[in-house]
A and B are shown apart, each in its own frame.
Chain A
């Protein structure tokens, strides 16, 4: 049994006043779960916004506050790095579009309050990639040494180049030319996203509102890794609440239809309503009539619902782990054609087996 359900965890985030009377033992567990799911600083900010932080026990306040300081520092770092990248790439006439965490922070959306950002993601045109990579590499951005196999994975199949890191500041940078792996046959036409970009104060480019939300949906529902899925769904909840208008929903619907991610949009809306109590949008009935089926009901309500629960030993049970395993298989299935997938999994599981037997660092170069 998990000590909290998805809905209970969500309720602390949307109605943080509900945590005021929580016994300290449960506070300790909630803090561990939210820290692990990268939501502790977000929790601090929602409790400040709803004016209940001061009512929390001192034990909880100190952990939430400490997390918020770390997140504020990350926010400042992201703003600094984005501006530096914009200036650096402007020299080669490239204006990158900032995605995900950096996008939220730059556009200062509600979900950026306390948002933990593990790397900075930018999108550039595919024919600019080579120039961008060499400009970055001559400005203290480097990539880790990858195995020949991983190098080939990125260069031939992926929608991004191997991650770069800044030699002095250790910031990690992902340079994308698409939102999803071209090898899958499902990568969207990037122009549909890049034609509606917004310029934020300072001059950085970010995706438009509907484009931001659809990218978050693609990232969440096409991914094989659900580690941060609960946080990612909370992001989308806050974004759609903030940008909600009939025009926003219409743009989102049209974009999802043009890029063939309508089904993922449907999955997302069902989960948002089930878990975060998001209000049903006007576009929902049409999507439901098109995508509701026995299979999709089962997939959303059992597999996705259980798999999205934060990954923590206090919540883990066989349902979550089975669901995450199925999502892992499905994520890979979507990513690559079967003949490439089989060899990919064979290579990865061989390495995985060695690490399982002899410890995580067994394959590291001495």
Chain B
């Protein structure tokens, strides 16, 4: 089974039966890639006994398993995290930043953020409200042009935001909810189709915005200086250490060209209004 995420193709050589229908529901509409897969991956039991005795699964990239095994019920979430790991540890030809990327009018905004900041909820909300979803997890930035490329992946929602997004967008396509993972309850939202994805082209980054959800808060906007933005952006880049000078130069280029803000928000519609009116031209 080949999973095509656009920039990277994964050959899932041995997936647990349980996850095949989920993979198909999320990636089934993608065209098969015209080159061989970039990564050979599988989700399988770490030992024979663990198929039966407190069943577990491990993620394997080719011959190796980078993480500890998880309970069988979390197999699909493990596959998604494993795919992130493959990209982050192998593709050193681009700057990879832990950030959501959303695009409107050919202008990209990247949202680097810590877990619990409401980044994925914001991503889901914007993606379901007419923005182009480039990524929920990883900004993939070309080292020459500085443009960010789209990735065909679902949005990973956690805990309360799963039900919220389902309420706001009753027609949305979700995987089942995987309970009690290390990130809490997790479900994946298919927020775009392959048809939409292939319309997305590498795009210039016009803003870097660090979001933070604060319950019941009014929208607060803080302008960031370049030094603060540099520090936070480089800290969020998975392969900043590997790229060395190349990474330094690219982060420098981004912060000098993009608008830089930190925002605190309680309501997503306020954020959308701010982005559409003040950031996107």
Residues of A within 8 A of B (CB): 24-25, 27-28, 32, 35-36, 57, 59, 62-63, 65-67, 69-70, 72-73, 76, 311-313, 355-361
- One of B100-108, B240-248, B258-266 at the interface: B240-248
Contact: A312 with B63, CB < 8 Å?
A: yes
> Are A62 and B93 in contact, CB atoms less than 8 angstroms apart?
yes
Counting from the closest, the 7 A-B pairs by CB-CB distance are A28-B36, A69-B92, A359-B46, A59-B35, A66-B92, A73-B242, A359-B47
Tell whether, in the assembled complex, residue B62 and residue A32 are in contact, meaning their CB atoms are under 8 Å apart. Answer: yes
Tell me if A's interface is mostly helix, strand, loop or mixed: helix
Please indicate the chain B residues that have their CB under 8 angstroms from the CB of A70 in the complex. Answer: 92, 242
Q: Are B242 and A63 in contact (CB under 8 A)?
A: no
Q: Which residues of A contact B62 (CB under 8 A)?
A: 32, 35-36
Interface contact B47-A357, CB-CB below 8 Å: yes
The answer on a CB contact under 8 Å between B56 and A73 is no
A residues near B241, Cβ cutoff 8 Å: 73
State whether A69 and B242 are in contact (beta carbons under 8 Å apart), knowing that A32-B62, A36-B63 are contacts in the complex: yes
Binding site for A on B (CB under 8 A): 35-38, 40, 46-47, 49-50, 53, 56, 62-63, 65, 68-69, 90-93, 241-244, 246
Q: Which of A67, A73, A313, A358 contacts B243 (CB under 8 A)?
A: A73
Closest Cβ of chain B to A92, distance in Å, is 30
In the bound complex, do residue B47 and residue A358 qualify as a contact, i.e. CB atoms below 8 Å apart? yes
Flag if B68 contacts A59 (CB, 8 Å). Answer: no
Q: Is the CB of B93 within 8 A of A361?
A: no
Residue pair B36, A66 in contact (C-beta under 8 Å): no
On whether the beta carbons of B35 and A63 are closer than 8 Å, the reply is no
B38: which A residues are within 8 A, CB to CB? Answer: 63
On whether the beta carbons of A360 and B93 are closer than 8 Å, the reply is no
Whether the Cβ atoms of A66 and B244 lie closer than 8 Å is: no
For B37, give the chain A residue with the smallest CB separation: A28
Contact A65 B56, beta carbon cutoff 8 Å: no
Contact between B56 and A359, CB atoms less than 8 A apart: yes
Once A24-B36, A25-B36, A36-B63 are accepted as A-B contacts, the answer to whether A66 and B90 lie under 8 Å apart by CB is: yes
For residue A32, which residues in chain B have a CB less than 8 angstroms away from its CB? Answer: 40, 62
A202 to chain B, nearest CB (A): 19
Beyond the given pairs A57-B35, A66-B91, A358-B50, 18 more chain A to chain B contacts, judged by CB atoms under 8 angstroms and listed by A's residue number, are A24-B35, A27-B36, A32-B62, A36-B63, A63-B38, A66-B92, A67-B92, A69-B242, A70-B242, A76-B244, A355-B47, A357-B49, A358-B47, A358-B49, A359-B49, A359-B50, A360-B46, A360-B65
